[in-house]
Amino acid sequence: MLRNAGLWPWYPASYRPRAVQPRGDLAADEQSTIEIFRTAAPSVVHITSMSLQRDWLTRNLLRIPEGTGTGFVWDEAGHIVTNYHVVAAGSSFQVTLSDNTRWRARIVGGEPEKDLAVLKIDVPPNKLRPIPLGTSADLQVGQKVFAIGNPFGLDHTLTTGVISGLGREIPSQGGGTIDGVIQTDAAINPGNSGGPLLDSAGRLIGVNTAIYSPSGAYAGIGFAVPADTVNEIVPQLIQYGRAQRAVLGVGLFEDEMAQRVFGVEEGAVIAKVYNQEAAFEAGLRPPYWGEDGTLHFDVITAVDGKVIRRAQDVAKVLEGKKPGETVSVTLLRDGQEVTVSITLMPLRQPLR
């Protein structure tokens, strides 16, 4: 008892707990980071994607977890923004809020070309805190950024870093590319997908979507869809269920096929012209054999004066244009240059 009280004269000091040294106030940048997390964390949610499978013994349908990801509260109506690839394989979804309450969610819309999707939960507005929205238009390399997500199921994990690059291009879930992507060294791991990337004011500047890593784990390079793209696409998904992309109404051959079959080094070879679409009305043609045995085909070489060198360039030129706008399309047809005007039409596609 005397030893426990520290009164035994020869009781070694190393046997007793050491005194705690006062640390003083937190550094200003630490206080700022803590405040950013405290403010933004209630807006971040955990998403579980599930699929239906039948038990071969009981023949009952079971909900099997398909994967997890992150999302964030967009508005008080219960719309949740996440990545398209987080929900693409699921048939039902569960959203866990910051207070650990779980809510069944339904998909409202998705845009694979931007890797964005919107879910909806029916929750009292007072349980929802929409994330503050910033802009990606004035970002600079070197700015501090903060990522909040659920990597490996560890909910509300905060990682920090800087903007490492701007204007990057990454493959999209729809087979095209996402332009203007933000590159960051803030740690982004499996489960972070769909979570917010924040600036030092705690505003949303991007949606974490992908990492570059040979192993699949964090390797210092992460990517986020810019906030201005998110702010353009999400309202369309809420209203229409899909992005209102303007299209010509044609299918294009892949560049390798265009070169191998048609000998076209530059330009986009038209593979199909959809009936009742804009290109059909303008007289664009798919490949066909003439009576003399000659293969005829149209090659798009420019749209609104912008040179088309490969098939993906067509979608890039149409980026930001609206259905109903008119564009000038330059074609190479049987060795002759032809220019036609086409009124763009909305893309007709399923919700998912």
Q: For the chain, give every domain's residue range.
A: 40-127, 144-240, 246-346
Per-residue model confidence (pLDDT) at position 351: 41
Cα-based distances in Å from 36 to 27, 113, 132, 145, 337: 14, 30, 11, 10, 57
pLDDT band for position 316 (cuts 50, 70, 90): confident
| Backbone angles phi and psi of 151, in degrees to 5 | -65, 130
Per-residue model confidence (pLDDT) at position 194: 94
pLDDT at 22 over 80: yes
Average pLDDT estimate for 54-73: 67
CB atoms inside a 10 Å sphere around CB 224: 28
Identified catalytic residue from 136, 185, 193, 313: 193
The residue ranking higher by pLDDT, 80 or 265, is 80
Residue type, 277: E
pLDDT band for position 172 (cuts 50, 70, 90): confident
Q: Which two tokens stand for residue 134?
A: 């910033």
Fold for the domain defined by 246-346: Pdz3 Domain (2.30.42)
Per-residue model confidence (pLDDT) at position 153: 76
Q: What is the mean pLDDT of the chain?
A: 87
Per-residue model confidence (pLDDT) at position 315: 84
Annotation says 193 is catalytic: yes
Let me know: does 303 contact 324? Beta carbons within 8 Å. Answer: no
Per-residue model confidence (pLDDT) at position 249: 84
Report the phi/psi class of residue 104: left, alpha or beta, with left for phi > 0 and alpha for psi in -120 to 50.
Answer: beta
pLDDT at 220 over 90: no
Same fold, 40-127 and 144-240: yes
| Backbone angles phi and psi of 27, in degrees to 5 | -65, 155
Identified catalytic residue from 43, 49, 115, 185: 115
Measured between alpha carbons, how far is 139 from 330 in angstroms, rounded to an integer? 36
CATH superfamily of 144-240: Trypsin-like serine proteases (2.40.10.10)
Of 146, 178, 150, 177, nearest to 162 by C-alpha is 146
Least confident of 7-11, 167-171, 232-236: 7-11
Annotation says 115 is catalytic: yes
pLDDT band for position 75 (cuts 50, 70, 90): very high
Average pLDDT estimate for 112-132: 95
Annotation says 46 is catalytic: no
Which of the 8 DSSP states describes residue 60? -
H-run or E-run covering 227: helix 227-240
Measured between alpha carbons, how far is 82 from 35 in angstroms, rounded to an integer? 24
Q: Give, rounded to a whole angstrom, the gap between the first and last alpha carbons of the chain.
A: 72
Cα-based distances in Å from 14 to 6, 8, 17, 163, 263: 11, 13, 7, 47, 82
pTM: 0.79
Give the three-class secondary structure for 19: coil
Average pLDDT estimate for 235-250: 89
**CATH code assigned to 40-127:** 2.40.10.10
pLDDT at 317 over 80: yes
The residue ranking higher by pLDDT, 123 or 218, is 123
Identified catalytic residue from 49, 85, 136, 255: 85
**Which range among 62-71, 88-97, 278-287, 315-324 has the greatest average pLDDT?**
88-97
pLDDT band for position 54 (cuts 50, 70, 90): low
pLDDT at 171 over 90: no
Measured between alpha carbons, how far is 179 from 225 in angstroms, rounded to an integer? 8
Least confident of 134-138, 215-219, 258-262: 215-219
Measured between alpha carbons, how far is 63 from 51 in angstroms, rounded to an integer? 6
The residue ranking higher by pLDDT, 7 or 207, is 207
